[in-house]
Amino acid sequence: MNKELYELSYSLKKEMRQRVLSIVCMLVAVYIVINLILAFVVFPVRQVSVSMESDVGRNSCIMFSPLKKHFGRGAVVLVNPLDSEDVPFLKKAGASFISFVTAGQVSAGNMNNLVGKERQIRRVVGLPGDTIYMRDYVLYIKPRGEKYFLTEFELAEKSYNVNVSTNPAGWDNTIGVIGSFEEMTLGRNEYFVLGDSRISCIDSRLWGPLKKDDVCAGAVLQYFPFSRLSLF
């Protein structure tokens, strides 16, 4: 009788260990799959500045996809400034997972470092071959092969808003980010990106045109705050 009880107890313990091991393996597999998706398919980024007001407000959370490689006029993208650097995969994946499940409210280090140092959310305004100039913080564009200039808003594939204000009388225009510049033509594979807050935002006016490789992902979904849930 005692032997039978011992064998039954041993069998139950063995079965329990197998169940626990199966659950642990399943959780590890799910974790790996989720993080692979967050690292290579879609990943969250928290907007920590006012550079994209008012369409993308401060503390908004956006899902970006590195698979989204077509950048039309007006597209919201994640770009690499010239001094960016890579982040180890495990750190990137872990930070992305934490950011997503907490809507960006809990960070594993600097949230700008989710997918690289100081990567920035900006808007694609000028495309390869465009001739562009700026007046009073509005970009004027003559697409390749066209005769006339149109404003960025007339050519945008999707409407958007920008914060543009006039500097006070007597303001020294050499201070801050420039609001006007003369004609320039974008080369092959060059993109001109701007922030929506034109007075205070650092963008291609300082960096110069970016190569396509410097545009690392396109915006897919704004999921926080929930009141501004929207697709791009």
Q: What is the mean pLDDT of the chain?
A: 80
Q: What is the tens place of the pLDDT at every residue in 6-44?
A: 555 667 677 788 888 888 889 888 888 877 777 678 888
113: pLDDT strictly greater than 60: no
pLDDT at 97 over 70: no
Query: Quick one: pLDDT at residue 209?
Result: 95
22-31, 132-141, 148-157: the lowest-pLDDT one: 22-31
Tell me which H or E stretch contains 46: strand 43-46
Residue 32 has a pLDDT of: 81
pLDDT confidence of residue 111: 40
d(CA 122, CA 102): 23
**Is this prediction's pTM over 0.85?**
no
More confident residue, 167 or 22: 22
Whether pLDDT at 199 is above 70: yes
Residue 179 is predicted with a pLDDT of: 87
Would you place residue 196 in the very low, low, confident or very high pLDDT band (cuts 50, 70, 90)?
Answer: very high
Angle made by CA atoms 178, 181, 185, in degrees to the nearest 5: 130
Amino acid at 99: S
Mean pLDDT of 201-224: 92
Domain ranges of the chain: 1-40, 43-232
